[in-house]
Amino acid sequence: MMGPAHSLSGAAAWLGVGAATAAAGHPMPWPVILVGALICAGAALAPDLDHKAATISRAFGPVSRGLCEIVDKLSYAAYKGTRKQGDPRRSGGHRTLTHTWLWAVLIGAGSAAVAIMGGRWGVLVILFVHMVLAIEGLLWRAARGSSSDILVWLLAATSAWILAGVLDKPGNGSDWLFTDQHQYLWLGLPVVLGALVHDIGDALTVSGCPILWPIPLGRKRWYPIGPPKVMRFRAGSWIELKVLMPVFILLGGVGCAAALNVI
């Protein structure tokens, strides 16, 4: 899928989690709902860091472009080093290492560690990075073009600072789901969820997605998981734009209302 659909699906997924936790008797404070949805929307773009044309590869200028090249080479090396006889030969690392459950768990655990060990500045870094990506994904029309980059970064930095201050207030969710000794540990959860939702979205497209790596399936270790081919679509097709994106918006709205106990 394309960036906007990925971001919408990520936000909708976290709002769905909010609805589920509210139904289970452990509701999220409203700042957790908001921040989690934004982080999940941003994290749903992150697996495409292995593709130089992706939104995330240009979101942070030369830094993300350079990181994209490194991740692409790392992903390709992982593919070459672990492929089985049934896995086809390929020339790049797109839709390999960063599109797996293992990568999602590792990146989420890393984010949680940064939040805990880095204190407020660690939280601000996580919020800023994912806020930039969320803005690029959810407001893609307004964020297009290199001339808007600085405005996006300023908006993300300001939003991160304000939201971090809101979360810090008692009862607003810094210790949601965990104890006071593990404040902000939950920040890793929307990161994991966003990456997994991205992978599931890509699995619906023609190429599929090797979500289960390194678990082998038959003669393949990089088996492209997906529904029957007749049910798949091309990234950016009318199905994604006219059907899936409106569905994500609708589901997100319902999930938000349920998470806030409005319905």
Percent of the chain with pLDDT over 90: 63
Which among 188, 185, 166 has a CA at the least distance from the CA of 176? 185
pLDDT in tens, 104-134: 999 999 999 999 898 889 999 999 999 999 9
Q: Are 127 and 111 in contact (CB under 8 A)?
A: no
User: Average pLDDT, stretch 224-249?
Assistant: 88
CA distance 187 to 36: 7
What is the pLDDT at residue 146? 52
Categorize the per-residue pLDDT at 143 as very low, low, confident or very high, splitting at 50, 70 and 90: low
The CA angle 101-193-164, to the nearest 5 degrees, is: 135
What is the pLDDT at residue 106? 96
Residue 43, token pair as written in the block: 């994290």
Q: Is the pTM of this model over 0.85?
A: yes
What b/e sequence results for 201-234 when a residue is b if at least 16 CB atoms lie within 10 Å of its CB, and e otherwise?
A: bbbbbeebbbbbbeeeeeebbbbbbbeeeeebee
Which among 21, 52, 19, 37 has a CA at the least distance from the CA of 177? 21
Which among 202, 210, 198 has a CA at the least distance from the CA of 235? 202
Three-class secondary structure of residue 13 per DSSP: helix
125: exposed, middle or buried (C-beta count within 10 Å: 0-12, 13-18, 19+)? middle
Three-class secondary structure of residue 52 per DSSP: coil
What is the pLDDT at residue 214? 93
Categorize the per-residue pLDDT at 172 as very low, low, confident or very high, splitting at 50, 70 and 90: confident
What is the pLDDT at residue 235? 79
Alpha-helical runs (H) found in the chain: 3-23, 30-43, 55-59, 62-82, 101-138, 140-143, 149-168, 188-203, 238, 245-259
Q: Which residues pair with 225 in a beta bridge?
A: 209
Q: Are 1 and 205 in contact (CB under 8 A)?
A: yes
Categorize the per-residue pLDDT at 183 as very low, low, confident or very high, splitting at 50, 70 and 90: confident
Q: Is the dihedral of CA 188, 203, 90, 213 positive or negative?
A: positive
The CA angle 155-161-165, to the nearest 5 degrees, is: 145
Residue 219, token pair as written in the block: 């003669």
User: Average pLDDT, stretch 7-18?
Assistant: 95
Is residue 260 predicted with pLDDT exceeding 70? yes
